[in-house]
């Protein structure tokens, strides 16, 4: 009897265990599987509904991790224009003697007193009146100039960036002079120096020179009205931009305007030894301004001529100086002794991408030499003295020369708004 009881007890226990396991399985199915089949359960690791893609209602906007772009503050730069660097024989002979003769030249003492002004400019532009070909051709004086390349070396050293060789003396040494000058200027490109006015070919004419400072791009073009009656050599590929080719000038200025914030044109024009610009100068200046030239640095007169703003139809304006006089020379007339650097301040607003002229100032300088054209050197007019004026070599022929004469020449020629 007892064995039967034990067997019945084992069957009952097994049945209870099976029933318990079945109940647990049903409970698991009810809690986990069935709700998921209904699609209403959100996994624990899922993000809140408010940040799910496509969520609506009172959700907060998605916050970008990218920082907002920073617009730079407005920036200003100074563009400095200088006049005719006219290298007469007395200048290069003195430079040669200082360097000990041979093929060496030292032009440092000529420019050392105006060097800080040039160095302080962001961009400095000069008209190199005489062809720089002396490392290949014999140096020479008026009327067919050829100057030592050490002139260019010195001007680069003190801070000039843009050189215009487009002027009435560019063909003084013909094809050989142009070739030698272009080879010299090619070597200076690695220093950031650019040349305008004399171009290798048509393609080079279309290669607008760009000089950038502080995020402001400036474009540079060189134009001349004359070559002293010397024609371009037959068959040459070299090119000049002549002032009567207005279609080309307009095309280049408009092209430059699409590439840069400021368009600078260096132009050789007008008549020599006068403080008054011609109507042709004024007419071409107005046209170039309307086409998009912002700064017009005029030269050729070997004297100082007026500065003025030119208004455009859209309300903007450009500035022109019709002539700045001689930077360095050994001319004889008192009116040739005064020169003016034109310091133009341009300011760019990066928020609007607009650039405008915000300041124009003329800074006069003086060519000084002792009797017999000796010891030629330059001074800022602000540093020049009556004692220096009384000992100027120009007194050999012109006794009226004085500091007051120089000061009056400046104030009679330049509007007071452009002077300190």
Residue 133: CATH number of its domain: 3.60.21.10
Q: Is residue 20 part of a domain?
A: no
In a domain? residue 238: yes
Q: What are phi and psi of 69, to 5 degrees?
A: -65, 140
Of residues 269, 262, 272, the one with CA closest to residue 283: 269
Q: Which domain holds residue 143?
A: 75-418
* Residue 165: inside a domain: yes
Q: How far apart (Å, rounded) are the C-alpha atoms in residues 176 and 170?
A: 11
In a domain, 63, yes or no: no
Give whole-number Cα distances, 200 to 156, 167, 193, 247, in Å.
21, 16, 16, 20
3-state secondary structure of 321: strand
The dihedral through the CA atoms of 345, 346, 350, 354 has a sign that is positive
Residues 6+ apart with CB under 8 A from 371: 393, 395, 396
Instruction: Assign 62 to helix, strand or coil.
Output: coil
* Count of domains forming the chain: 1
Helix-helix angle 174-188:150-158, to 10 degrees:
30
CA dihedral 194, 345, 327, 173 (to 10 degrees): 30
- Say if residues 199 and 205 touch (Cβ distance below 8 Å): yes
Residue 11 lies in a domain: no
d(CA 137, CA 173): 9
Asked if residue 35 is part of any domain, the answer here is no
Distance (Å, rounded) from C-alpha 317 to C-alpha 315?
7
The DSSP 8-state label assigned to residue 242 in this structure reads: B
393, two tokens = 């070599």
| DSSP reduced 3-state for 411 | helix
CA distance 411 to 401: 16
**CB contact at 8 A, 370 and 329:** no
In a domain, 201, yes or no: yes
Residue 297 pairs in a beta bridge with 266, 321
Q: Are 185 and 153 in contact (CB under 8 A)?
A: no
State residue 44's pLDDT score. Answer: 33
pLDDT for position 347: 98
**Each residue's pLDDT expressed in tens, for the chain with a length of 420 residues:** 333 334 444 444 554 455 555 554 444 444 444 444 444 333 333 334 444 444 444 556 666 677 778 888 999 999 999 999 999 999 999 999 999 999 999 999 999 999 999 999 999 999 999 999 999 999 999 999 999 999 999 999 999 999 999 999 999 999 999 999 999 999 999 999 999 999 999 999 999 999 999 999 999 999 999 999 999 999 999 999 999 999 999 999 999 999 999 999 999 999 999 999 999 999 999 999 999 999 999 999 999 999 999 999 999 999 999 999 999 999 999 999 999 999 999 999 999 999 999 999 999 999 999 999 999 999 999 999 999 999 999 999 999 999 999 999 999 999 999 998
Q: Which two tokens stand for residue 29?
A: 């199915």
* pLDDT score for 177: 98
Closest CA to 158 of 202, 119, 214, 203: 119
Q: Is residue 61 part of a domain?
A: no
404 Cβ contact partners less than 8 Å away, ≥ 6 residues apart: none
Dihedral over alpha carbons 325, 326, 330, 331 (to 10 degrees): -20
DSSP string, 123-165: EEEEE--S-B-TTTS--B-TTS-BB-THHHHHHHHHT--EEE-
């Amino acid at each position: 009897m007892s064995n039967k009881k034990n067997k019945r007890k084992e069957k009952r226990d097994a049945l209870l265990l099976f029933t318990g396991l079945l109940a647990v399985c049903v409970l698991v199915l009810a809690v986990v599987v069935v709700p998921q089949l209904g699609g209403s359960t959100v996994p624990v690791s899922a993000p809140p509904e408010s940040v799910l893609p496509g969520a609506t209602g009172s959700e907060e906007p998605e916050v970008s991790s990218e920082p907002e772009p920073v617009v730079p503050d407005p920036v200003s730069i100074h563009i400095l224009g200088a006049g005719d660097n006219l290298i007469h024989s007395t200048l290069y002979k003195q430079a040669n003697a200082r360097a000990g003769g041979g093929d060496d030249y030292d032009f440092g003492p000529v420019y050392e007193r105006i060097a800080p002004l040039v160095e302080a400019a962001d961009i400095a532009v000069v008209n190199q009146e005489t062809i720089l070909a002396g490392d290949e051709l014999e140096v020479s004086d008026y009327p067919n100039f050829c100057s030592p390349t050490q002139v260019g070396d010195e001007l680069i050293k003190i801070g000039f960036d843009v050189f215009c060789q487009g002027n009435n003396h560019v063909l003084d040494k013909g094809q050989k002079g142009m070739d030698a000058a272009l080879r010299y200027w090619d070597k200076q490109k690695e220093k950031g120096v650019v040349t305008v006015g004399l171009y290798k070919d048509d393609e080079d004419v279309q290669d607008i020179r760009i000089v950038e400072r502080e995020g402001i791009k400036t474009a540079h073009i060189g134009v001349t009205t004359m070559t002293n009656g010397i024609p371009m050599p037959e068959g040459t590929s070299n090119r000049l931009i002549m002032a009567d080719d207005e279609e080309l000038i307009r095309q280049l200025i408009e092209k430059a305007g699409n590439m840069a914030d400021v368009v600078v044109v260096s132009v050789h024009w007008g008549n020599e030894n006068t403080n008054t610009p011609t109507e042709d100068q004024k007419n071409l200046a107005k046209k170039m301004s309307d086409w998009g030239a912002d700064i017009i640095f005029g030269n050729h007169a070997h004297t100082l001529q007026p500065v003025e703003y030119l208004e455009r139809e859209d309300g903007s304006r450009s500035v022109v100086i019709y002539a700045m006089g001689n930077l360095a020379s050994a001319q004889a007339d008192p009116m040739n002794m005064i020169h003016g650097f034109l310091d133009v301040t341009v300011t760019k607003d990066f928020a609007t991408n607009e650039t405008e002229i915000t300041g124009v100032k003329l800074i006069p300088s003086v060519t000084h030499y002792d009797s017999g054209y000796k010891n030629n050197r330059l001074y800022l007019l602000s540093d020049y003295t009556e004692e220096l004026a009384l000992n100027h070599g120009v007194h050999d022929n012109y006794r009226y020369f004085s500091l007051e004469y120089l000061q009056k020449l400046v104030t009679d020629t330049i509007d007071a708004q452009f002077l300190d």
